[in-house]
Each structure stands twice: as structure tokens, then as C-alpha cells.
Amino acid sequence: MIDTEHAFAAFDARDKSQDGRFVGAVKTTGIYCKPSCPARRPLRKNVEFFATPAEAIKAGYRACKRCLPDEVGRDAEGVARALALIESAEGRVSLNDMAAAAGFAPHHFHRLFKRAMGVTPAAYVRAGLATRAAQALDEGTSVTNAIYDAGYSTPSRFYAQSNRRLGMSPSAWRQGGAGVTIGWAIKQTSLGQMLIAATDKGICRLSFDEDESVLYRLFPNAQIEPGGAGLDPLIEGATTAIERPSQMPTLPLDIGGTAFQQAVWAELMRIPAGETRTYADIAAAVGKPKAIRAAGTANGANKVAILIPCHRVIRTDGGLGGYAYGLERKEELLRREGVE
């Protein structure tokens, strides 16, 4: 379902980033346009929205000759063909192959894909490979078989990319943190008791009202111990993020997730302090405007509260929505950032 209020806001603002995600149809003229159409805007009551040009045509509308919304539809179809190729391929897919499947020149396809999906074609392929490998490891497949079954040409490529993206080594991931040392600390803040835990690569858990026992559940085979002086800068940075959000530092994170979760979390980190987005906004921003519920689930799967600011996401009707650590904390965090 289209979030009509979000759609009209984008339509009224001529938001080019929303092109291809829906069309706005004007009842008084019988014409449908893409969101960025430069034509004069009609009254809200005279506009309805459709997910595709085909739906607008079925409802009796015709395409605008000024903004050519059907061209955007063809762009979306091209990206869909490229995605189908990526999903069906057993290994890496070149930009030229994806562009050929989409029916565009490589440089034009690269731009279309990034606009539609929020990441470059290469980044999307890499995320897919890593996700498939992680799933195979979770299912008990050997590390070597998981690497090749996922589509990596050599183990070295997987190790290089997974260490950047996931933090822990592949075997550690499979074995619940085996071989990884996680230091933890508990600090009292103005929002209550904060648990912070980190590997040598970054923070892997930041939560409230929890103690170190949660780490034994999440990482049953890791070496878990009280953090030493090396954890102090991370504690200080996390405390600053809570007490003075406008001064929140950039801290290293060691988290893993699916490609969709990673995209959602990256979008959350783009929300400036003092601003909010709706779940529909986030779904649209990652190229999945209909996946509002999935965006909410990914939002809730955030492992490092505050640092990935999931508290800045609210419902379309202005309600706070959910928050793992209580709505009072969410409200207070937003108040500290200046959100009414």
C-alpha cells in the first residue's frame, strides 16, 4: 500500500528521488505524472496515487507529455531485470552484464540502479554474496563450502570483505563468536543503566536495562570479560551521544546484518539530530517503498541503540511507534535533540 501522505509530500516537493516509486494522477486533468514533474501542483483532494503507470492507465489516466512518467517505469523494469540476473547468477555479475540485461549503457544503468536501490550495483552484489555466505554458515555448512556456494571466486575475497562488513571472522560468526574477545562495561547515565560491549573492531552492543548476561546469549562462544582502559574512549563517546546528541562522535561499530538491514541502518545514520523520518520514509529511501513493515523490523533489530539512531523513526501519523527500551526514553531522546 502507498502511504498517501508521504507520497503527496514528495509529489508536492517535486522529489526526484521518488521517481519510479509511484505516480500521481490528477483527477481534474486525467493525467498522471512522476513525482518530480515540473507542472503546477493541483489541490490535494484532486490527486490520487498509483504504484505503477500501468495501474494509472487501468484507472483511466494518460501519461503526462511533459515529464514522461512511462520512461521511469521502463527504468524500474530495467533495474528489476538486473536484480533477477543477480539473484539467478551463481557468482559475480559484471556491470556490463547487468546493464545489458537492463537494456541501458553501463554508465546510465549505474546511475539508475543507485537511485533505485540506494547503493551501487557492485555494493549490492557484495552484500548479497556476504549474506548468502552468512546464511550457509548459520546452517552449518563448512566455511570453505559456504564461501564457494555463495559465489566468491576465492576465499581471500570473502575474508577481505567479511572482515570489513561483519567485523568477526567467518569461523567466529559460525561458532557464536569463537576466538573473539568482547569487553563490556555498565555505566549509569541520565537515561538509566547502559550496557556497552565491544570487540577490537568496534561496539557490538549498546543497550539499556541489560547486563553482561545478554552477551553470553548473543555470543555463546566468545571470550567475554570486563572491559579495560581500552573501552574508556568508547564509553565516553557513547555517553556523549546520550547526554549531548548534537555532539555525538563517530564511533567504530562491529555489527552484522542482512543486506536489507544494513541498508536500513545506513539510512538511519543519515537522519540528522533534531529530525525524524517515518517508517515509510525509510522503506522508500532504501528502494523498497512497499516494505514498510520490513523496514520497521530492521529498525527494531538495531544492536547499538543511539549510535544507529532508530529512535528518530516515528509513525506516519506522528505517533512514536515502538522502541525496545521504552517510549519514555525515545521521547526524551527526541526532546534532547529539539524535536517537539
Distance in angstroms (rounded) separating the CA atoms of residues 242 and 334: 11
Query: Is there a catalytic annotation at residue 64?
Result: no
Distance in angstroms (rounded) separating the CA atoms of residues 106 and 122: 12
Dihedral sign for Cα atoms in the order 121, 88, 126, 206: positive
C-alpha cell at 137: 554458515
Structural contact between residues 180 and 277, judged by C-beta atoms closer than 8 angstroms: no
Listed residue (32, 28, 35) closest to 62, CA to CA: 32
Query: Is there a catalytic annotation at residue 67?
Result: no
Q: How many residues are given for the chain?
A: 340
Cα end-to-end span (Å), the chain: 28
* 137, containing H or E segment: helix 121-138
Please give the DSSP secondary-structure letter assigned to residue 253: B
Residue of 33, 64, 67, 204 marked active site: 33
Listed residue (233, 289, 327) closest to 3, CA to CA: 289
C-alpha cell at 33: 505524472
Distance in angstroms (rounded) separating the CA atoms of residues 78 and 104: 8
Report CA Rg, the chain.
23
Residue of 37, 64, 204, 310 marked active site: 310
C-alpha cell at 89: 547468477
The one-letter amino acid code at 89 reads: A
Q: Could you give the residue numbers annotated as active site?
A: 33, 310
